[in-house]
Amino acid sequence: MILVTGAAGFVGSALLPVLLSQFHAVTGVGRRAHDKSHARLRSFGVGNIDGATKWSTELLGADAVIHLAARVHIMRDSESDPLAEFRRVNTEGTLNLARQAAAAGVRRFIFLSTIKVNGEATHYGCPFTTSDLPAPQDPYGISKHEAEVGLREIARTTGMQVVNIRPTLVYGRGAKENFKSLMSLVARGLPLPLGSINNFRSFVGIDNLVDFIVTCLEHPAAANETFLVSDGEDLSTPDLIRRMARAMNRPARLLSVPVWALKAGASLLGKGDAMQRLCGNLQVDISKSRELLGWSPPVSVDEGLRRAVGGDW
């Protein structure tokens, strides 16, 4: 039996049907119990996840845990101490679950971390790798890094196998925040002043991420390893927009405005960080995932974008 936290979230909603289709018994956990219509699905609501959450009922009979639940990156955080709040959920909550999982005899614990553990940006042609020294720069990335460190210690002292997965930006049907906003702008046919950007960024489609998680669930070589995951094809911002527009059967309207002018204007509007993400590089090297696990992304970028936009546009 597999325990999946964050089962009703973006990744969890895509993962559960795949696990159930492969004849796994699944316990899905979210803030509230959800659909129990499948014979092999148990569902529980646990409310908030932190260092005091009790997991004995949910862990009953579990052989593996896939921990997706997290306090996610927030653009405008209203907390007076964001780092403390991220640590409460992402660090203390994760390690509390892992300790109880080890005590319950769980064989493997898969933790969905973030590429932000590596850092916020790369130089062109110098992608992040798993051998890089961690360099998280925001509370979300720091809390995930601290959870990874604690999980490795739990693995060392208990024998429970741990797998840390650091995805890049995940896109797909139901994605929110930046990707959804960009899709909306492209769908409306608005001219976008991003045609002069010359960068490379790694992304991962939801179907590729789910496939990778399932691979890590059983592959013996995944035990006690850290992996980066992406689609295996890096895109510039203009290329992403063109291919997104093609998936929607819309024209891509790109204006060539100098990057310095974009950054200056965004800074004046208080959007400097967002513009940096559109203009900067963030590439990852997934050769370890390919070589150690024999894994390749099963879904191409163009197919992933076609599935992401669906028929809504």
Residue 124 designated active-site: no
Q: Does any domain span residue 82?
A: yes
The CATH number linked to 42 is: 3.40.50.720
Instruction: Specify the number of domains making up the chain.
Output: 1
- Give the pLDDT of residue 215: 97
- Does a structural domain hold residue 174? no
Q: Are the beta carbons of 68 and 90 closer than 8 angstroms? A: no
Are the C-beta atoms of 76 and 23 separated by less than 8 Å? Answer: no
Domain that holds residue 67: 2-167
Q: Which residue in the block uniquely carries the two structure tokens 């795949």?
A: 18
Identified catalytic residue from 140, 171, 200, 295: 140
**Could you tell me how many residues make up the chain?**
313
250 lies in some domain:
no
Q: What pLDDT score does 120 carry?
A: 93
Distance CA 139, CA 183 (A): 27
Tell whether 179 is covered by a domain. no
Q: What type of residue sits at position 265?
A: G
Instruction: Identify the pLDDT of residue 133.
Output: 94
Give a yes or no: residue 280 inside a domain.
Answer: no
pTM for the full model?
Answer: 0.91
What are the structure tokens assigned to 57, written together?
A: 């009922």
Residue 263 is assigned to a structural domain of this protein: no
Residue by residue, pLDDT tens for the chain (313 residues) are: 899 998 888 999 999 999 988 878 888 887 655 555 554 566 666 778 888 889 888 898 999 999 999 988 665 556 678 899 999 999 999 999 999 999 999 999 999 999 999 999 998 889 999 999 999 999 999 999 999 999 999 999 999 999 999 999 999 988 877 788 888 888 888 889 999 889 999 999 999 999 999 999 999 999 999 999 999 999 999 999 999 999 998 888 999 988 888 888 878 777 777 788 888 899 999 999 999 999 999 999 999 999 988 755 5
Q: What is the pLDDT of residue 139?
A: 94
Element holding 5 (H helix, E strand): strand 2-5
pLDDT at 269: 75
Rg of the chain in Å (alpha carbons): 20
Residue 245 placed within a domain: no
Q: What are phi and psi of 238, to 5 degrees?
A: -60, -40
